[in-house]
Amino acid sequence: MADIQELQRIASQVRRDIIRQVFLCQSGHPGGSLGNADLFVALYFDIMKHDPSFNMEGKGEDVFFLSNGHISPVWYSTLARAGYFPVEELNTFRAIDSRLQGHPTTHEGLPGVRIASGSLGQGMSVACGMALAKKMDGDDRTVFVLTGDGEQQEGQNWEAALFAPHHKLDNLVVIIDDNGQQIDGPTSEVMYMGDLGKKYASFGWEIVDMDGNNMAEVVETLRKVQGQRNGKPTCIIMKTAMGKGVDYMEGTHKWHGKAPDEELALKALAQLEETLGDFPAEGI
Amino acid sequence: MLSLDQLQQTDKKATRDGFGAGLKAAGDQHDNVVMLTADLRGSMKSEDFINTYPDRFIQCGIAEANMMGVSAGLATAGKIPMATTFANFATGRVYDQIRQSIAYSHKNVKICASHAGITLGEDGATHQILEDIGMMRMLPGMTVINPCDYNQTKAAVQAIAEHHGPVYLRFGRPGWPVFIPEDQEFVIGKALHLNQGSDVSIFATGHLVWKAVEAARELEKEGISVDLINIHTIKPLDEEAVIASAKKTGAVVTCEEHNKYGGLGSAIAEVLSKAVPTPQEYVATNDTFGESGKVSDLLEKYGLGTKDVIAAAKRALARK
């Protein structure tokens, strides 16, 4: 059984890492990153069977894909804290010659990343391919993929939404980050999408609701769906607050893709306990 | 060493049939070869593979973007996916999926595209892509291959299964002369010298290689010596072969079933302009969309016939 308090402590450090990464390069996407910190920590520190020495094919491992690649800071921090690469490397985020590109890629060989993402709507398809390969190979591990809710406006997702139940990919878990925000404003105003859960259910998916900012619930839910093999892929509608953990960033799209200045960065860090030691960086 | 005398038509079969035969052979050789299609299994002539290996066939429905992503996921897990559909839907429709999930991500995906070019025929311009070589050639790390007949296509499929990295393989719909020897070795990136000559170089790819062979016979009859080279791999281009031939003849013709912009002609011109500036004439479509019609009528109307190759060779010679 996971120690929820320990996971929360790691998540606090991941949130600090997010703020410090985007502050140092004065760019990046803190809002969605903060909102998803609990999910990433639960996946990498409790739920998934995975190997930080990293094998691209991921045979015998649970595999995670990030479709909404712009929330790379939360993934980079989680991967570093889980041992995929040195924590010190987080200070190279978005800098020249870095493996930590603005959006995740395989191009620079960063351990933990299996596909480039950033141009939205492609991750579910890739995850379907990995889940299908695992079925073909008799590998019973699970494939997780995270997408944004605004990202669901891309049509390719709906091609994948048809594909997965048709091919009975019950080893696939899609997590939709339902924070209700996208870069131009609330999703309901930018492009109303109706009830995503009902839509996926009608396509033949198992639907699960989850509070993505309640660590105990995240762990319990993921554990339940992980071993579920009933012929249907799972779609988790995960409620999160964009900017979770930093009061002035919470629940607004304004910090979707904007870095805080020094004063605001320090204000954010004051709200997030340093639990594992900050990565070294000049100036903050 | 091949020569015009050896390049005789032995049969008439579509290059897509060569794809089907090559896919079956590649499937026999590699357990991890899988085939995907977007509702075009019949058109891809792949029943032999599908019937032999039904568990390695993945129907994607009419959803090409998803098919490219699924292929990338399969390749990540160590499969060798052959993603098949018509060339238009395999490139222009899904360019960003190929760019991000396959090319930039270095995935070992083989994009196998039938019905390329104007010889698709009666379906018309919506399906006759003439821009695909250019698009695919622009992607860093992408190998681009356009075989010329059944035998070469069959060999190319087996070669791309052995090759690690993303590949765009372009072939076509119509029955077409079979003339490349069945046992001819296919080496990715290595031009195939079809005839040694000294007056004019003809570089040809895809279906138009046969037109170039016919043209070369006529030109030889007129006493014009043709250095005829089949560029089946447009990227990486066999620059050494291009430069050597252009230096020898001092006049160049390029032949392709593609727009004059972005394809084989452009690729050759890029090499010549750096290494050995040479008069060059293009046999290609003239920055236009196609239309419905019989293959023979289309080739004539759009300037892709034997007489067009001959005329281009004479223009190039006159510019020496």
Going edge to edge, which strands form the sheet with B280-285? B192-195, B226-230, B200-204, B252-259, B280-285
B66 and A59 within 8 Å at the Cβ level: the answer is: no
Look at residue A275 and tell me if it is in a domain. Answer: no
Question: Which pLDDT band, with edges at 50, 70 and 90, does A253 fall under?
Answer: confident
Shortest CB distance from A159 goes to which of B65, B73, B75?
B65
Instruction: Please give the pLDDT value at position A182.
Output: 93
- Per-position b or e across B180-196, b if 16+ CB within 10 A of its CB: beeeeebebbebbbbbb
Say whether B291 is catalytic: no
* Closest approach of A277 to chain B, Cα-based (Å): 33
- Mean pLDDT within B217-228: 98
8 Å CB contact of B65 and A156: yes
pLDDT at residue A198 in the model: 98
Residue A105 to residue B104, Cβ atoms within 8 A: yes
Is B66's CB within 8 Å of A117's CB? no
Q: Confirm or reject contact between A114 and chain B (CB < 8 A).
A: yes
Q: A97-118: per-residue pLDDT in tens?
A: 999 999 999 999 999 999 999 9
Of A86, A131, A148, A111, the C-alpha closest to A280 is: A86
Number of domains in chain A: 1
DSSP letter, residue A43: I
Is there a domain that residue A245 lies in? yes
Of B55, B77, B105, nearest to A134 by CB-CB distance is: B77
Q: Is it the case that residue A1 has pLDDT exceeding 60?
A: no
Contacts of B58 in chain A (CB under 8 A): 132, 167
CATH number at residue A65: 3.40.50.970
Contacts of A161 in chain B (CB under 8 A): none
Q: Does domain B12-178 have CATH number 3.40.1170.60?
A: no
How many residue contacts between A and B have a Cβ separation below 8 Å?
113
Contact assignment for A159 to B101 by CB distance below 8 Å: no
| A177-223 pLDDT tens trace | 999 999 999 999 999 999 999 999 999 999 999 999 999 999 999 99
Is the CB of residue A103 less than 8 Å away from at least one CB of chain B? no
In terms of Cα–Cα distance, which of A256, A215, A212 is closest to A237?
A212
- DSSP states of chain B as a string? ---GGG----EEEEHHHHHHHHHHHHHHH-TTEEEEESS-TTTTT-HHHHHH-GGGEEE--S-HHHHHHHHHHHHHTT-EEEEEEEHHHHTGGGHHHIIIIIITTT---EEEEES-SGGG-TT-TTT--SSHHHHHHTSTT-EEE---SHHHHHHHHHHHHHS-S-EEEE--SSEEEE-S-TT----TT--EEEE--SSEEEEE-TTHHHHHHHHHHHHHHTT--EEEEE--EEES--HHHHHHHHHHHS-EEEEEEEETTTSHHHHHHHHHHHH----EEEEEE-S----SS-HHHHHHHTT-SHHHHHHHHHHHHHT-
Tokens representing residue A278 in the block: 């900050």
Token pair for B66: 């998803």
The domain made up of B186-318 has a fold known as Rossmann fold (3.40.50)
* pLDDT surpasses 80 at A44: yes
The domain of A233 spans: 4-269
Nearest Cα to Cα of residue B68 among B32, B102, B27: B102
Residue pair B213/B228 in contact (Cβ under 8 Å)? The answer is yes
Residue A2 has pLDDT above 90, yes or no: no
Domain annotation covers residue A249: yes
Give contacts of A 161-220 with B, CB under 8 A: 162-163, 166-167
Let me know if B164 is exposed, middle or buried by CB neighbors in 10 A (0-12, 13-18, 19+): exposed
The residue among A103, A29, A89 whose CA lies nearest residue A259 is A29
pLDDT of residue A284: 81
Query: What are the tens digits of pLDDT across the range B137-193?
Result: 999 999 999 999 999 999 999 999 999 999 999 999 999 999 999 999 999 999 999
Closest CA to A20 of A84, A89, A101, A109: A89
Ranges in chain B annotated CATH 3.40.50.970: 12-178
Query: Regarding beta strands B192-195 and B226-230, do their DSSP bridges make them parallel or antiparallel, or are they unpaired?
Result: antiparallel
Give start-end residues of each CATH 3.40.50.920 domain in chain B: 186-318
Catalytic entry in B47, B64, B218, B257: B64
3-class DSSP state for residue A125?
A: helix
